[in-house]
Structure 1
Amino acid sequence: MQMSTIHFRAAVICCVLLPFLFPVMAAAEVLKPYKDDLFSDQAILESRDDGDFTRIDYQEMRDINGRDSIPERRVKDRYVSLKVRRQQDNQTLDLSSGPLDVARVGHDSGQAFTIIFIHGRGGDRRLGMNDVTFGGNFNRLKNLAVENGGTYYAPSIAAFDVSGVAATAALIDYAARNSGGRPVVLACASMGSFICWGISRDAATVAKLSGMAVLGGAPDPDLPKSAAAKARLPIWFTHGSNDSVYKSDDVTALYSRLRKGGNPVRLTVYETGSHGTPVRMTDWRQVLSWLLTAR
């Protein structure tokens, strides 16, 4: 059977482009399950906005005391797999902004996607690498990254000001270049959200991101006017309804403004949850799968 000129050209184009498209396509696939029966089985009390807003049943006795062998200090063994530590390393990267201490899980280059976690006040790179606190949720994040060909960075941010924003922007650029331009997700917890909001005003860095996750963060009233909003950068907020540091109602109002403006945004509220609840309860597989595909 003879091949037409059109079919021949199409075949040539596919052969040329497929090797370059495949890594991006692979990153866009939903992440493979990892201990979903322990982390993803969260009862939904309320769902609206086509599922973009969800209110989740959170109970301290079940989700802390029932999950930890030592409440808030050590999770039960079945929630973690420590084999991932074999792919973990501490580095000091020489970035355009200066040296930056990071902990890394996964390859330093060629990764299918990158996740960067910014700690809150008083933290450093060790917080995002702690396998046994926060209900084992960071251990799951590390394993999700490695099992899906990604890389996870937890940097030590010295200050939540312009210098911290510059260091994070340099790390995002480093990850994007080393991966060949594959997706980068920035996740910020608590006061670390100031770093996310600083990045949101930097159009050049926003262009290198696939999305943002904000866990128990401060609401930024200027976010709807930011470069991130103009670029329709996907953002997923997770927050405790009883957060005494940053009010849940203020985050909900910000979510509503962004959604009304046509931005891809989601909000998960943990009913009765406190300021630290999102770090423990955020379903990383669900959040990352959406952020890697929503843009």
Structure 2
Amino acid sequence: MRILFVAALAASLVVSFVSGAAALTLKPFKDELFAYPGLIAREDGGSRLVVDYRELRDINQRDEVPERRVKGDYVRLSVRSAQKDLSLKTAQGDIRHVAVGKPEGASAIVVYIHGQGGSRKQGVDDFTFGGNFNRIKNLMWENGGLYLSPDFSEFGPKGVKEIAALLDHYADRSPKAPIVVACGSMGGAICWGLADSPAVAGRLAGLMMLGSFTSDDFAKSAAYKRKVPLYLGQGSKDAVFPVDTQEAMYKRLKGANYPVRLVRFETGTHGTPIRMTDWRDVLNWMLAR
């Protein structure tokens, strides 16, 4: 009888684990509109993609007003009912941020870190960047998750501490939620800073670099030791951060059998990865790990 009980208990634990893993697979949301328009190359089992990006098609034909307002088919505005503009009091000061979805008991948490000249409002703008921020908002809302777009005071250590405090607050309220931090452009400084923190790295399910810069010290970080999945999205004509540096980092990490993906948007410029990255594809890869 004891053997049967132990076997039944083990089976129930396996079922529970599998069910939990399945719950972290994000359901589709306008996938046909946000899928990569075509592939020039697919390498390393899909870890490195070269996407056929074309400005005339992927901006001019997608937007009502190029770079300012996407066509209505790409957005669903009812998600605004789950959106709140908040201020969190922490030991690092008050942190203004926009939250979309479940503030407690979330299935997953995704945080967007803006670049130079941005603000918390950038990451929740429904119409810019081809509607891609509206998509991530809807993906998290539909899947019982939480999406955060915060302000912070600087791209240096103080800013890293502020975002760490924000993550700590929401992680305590959703202790089972995997956390993914996506950093655009100069916001990458926050991502690399968080990667160095053992306390933060222990909660991370992934880091996304969107048109950002690389880190020569990532291999020394707490996130690297935990093999936190890393996504690199870059335009081949990015004049701010050259794509060659991302290509080199990808090769180093891939050679070390690290969980890394690179999506190169051919002819894309600095903001292209924010517009074109397939949130659901990247997040499901990270959450599955």
SS in 2 for 1:292: helix
Query: 1:138 corresponds to which residue?
Result: 133
Deviation at 1:224, TM superposition (A): 2.0
1:191 to 186, 194, 206: 186
> Does 2:13 match 1:11?
no
> Does 2:92 match 1:89?
no
> Does 2:64 match 1:74?
no
Q: 1:1-295 counterparts in 2 under 5 A?
A: 4-12=1-9, 21=17, 24-29=20-25, 31-294=26-289
**C-alpha RMSD over aligned residues:** 1.7
Contact kept? 2:24, 2:108, Cα under 8 Å: no
Deviates more, 1:282-291 or 1:9-18: 9-18
What letter is aligned with 1:6? Answer: I
Contact kept? 1:67, 1:135, Cα under 8 Å: yes
Q: Deviations over 1:137-170 (max 9, x none)?
A: 0000000001111110000122101011001111
- C-alpha distance in 1 between matches for 2:257 and 2:219: 10
Contact kept? 2:233, 2:262, Cα under 8 Å: yes
- C-alpha distance in 1 between matches for 2:268 and 2:220: 29
Contact kept? 2:36, 2:278, Cα under 8 Å: no
Contact kept? 2:86, 2:97, Cα under 8 Å: yes
Aligned length: 289
- C-alpha distance in 1 between matches for 2:90 and 2:231: 28
Query: What TM-score do you get using the length of structure 2 for normalisation?
Result: 0.95
SS in 2 for 1:116: strand
Deviation at 1:41, TM superposition (A): 4.2
SS in 1 for 2:280: helix
SS in 1 for 2:258: coil
Q: Deviations over 1:238-278 (max 9, x none)?
A: 00000000000011101111111221000000000000001
- C-alpha distance in 2 between matches for 1:282 and 1:96: 34
Q: Deviations over 1:86-112 (max 9, x none)?
A: 000011112342221110000110000
Deviation at 1:229, TM superposition (A): 1.3
Contact kept? 1:72, 1:135, Cα under 8 Å: yes
CA gap of 1:27–1:214, structure 2 versus 1, over 3 A, is: farther
Alignment gaps of 5+ in structure 1: none
